[in-house]
């Protein structure tokens, strides 16, 4: 049984999207190599867009890289967990 060529925007017939960010369908099957290649292409484009300004390119990369959505979600989770722990510790303190 032949599956035929992949759909546009997909590199495999199973649905991996080489351009998917880590918050959209298609990223689950992306290899580390695909993610690395995607980020390298983005870095090159951002540096070109910023006329060689590496700081500006780095700021945009933090927002636009394939892993940016996952990193933002993890940071939010870490903050929420830290706040909850602080509240628990405060509630457990004996009265002064």
Record the tokens describing residue 79, joined without a space. Answer: 């903050």
Please tell me the predicted confidence (pLDDT) of residue 74. Answer: 83
pLDDT in tens, 42-69: 999 999 999 999 999 999 999 988 778 8
Instruction: Find the distance separating the first CA and the last CA of the chain, reported in whole Å.
Output: 74
> Are the C-beta atoms of 15 and 26 separated by less than 8 Å?
yes
CA distances (Å), 78 to each of 74, 75, 81, 83, 84, in order? Answer: 6, 5, 5, 9, 10
Where the chain has pLDDT below 50, the residues are 1
Q: Cα(73)–Cα(54) distance, rounded to whole angstroms?
A: 25
Q: Which two tokens stand for residue 46?
A: 């951002």
Residue 37: which residues within 8 A CB-CB, separation 6 or more? 18
């Amino acid at each position: 049984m032949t599956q035929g060529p992949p759909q546009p925007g997909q590199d495999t017939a199973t649905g991996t999207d080489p351009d998917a960010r880590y918050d959209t369908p298609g990223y689950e099957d992306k290899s580390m190599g695909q993610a690395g290649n995607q980020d390298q292409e983005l870095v090159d484009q951002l540096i070109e867009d910023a006329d060689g300004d590496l700081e500006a390119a780095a700021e945009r990369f933090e927002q636009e890289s394939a892993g940016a959505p996952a990193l933002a979600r993890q940071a939010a989770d870490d903050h929420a967990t830290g706040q909850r722990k602080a509240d628990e510790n405060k509630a457990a303190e004996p009265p002064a």
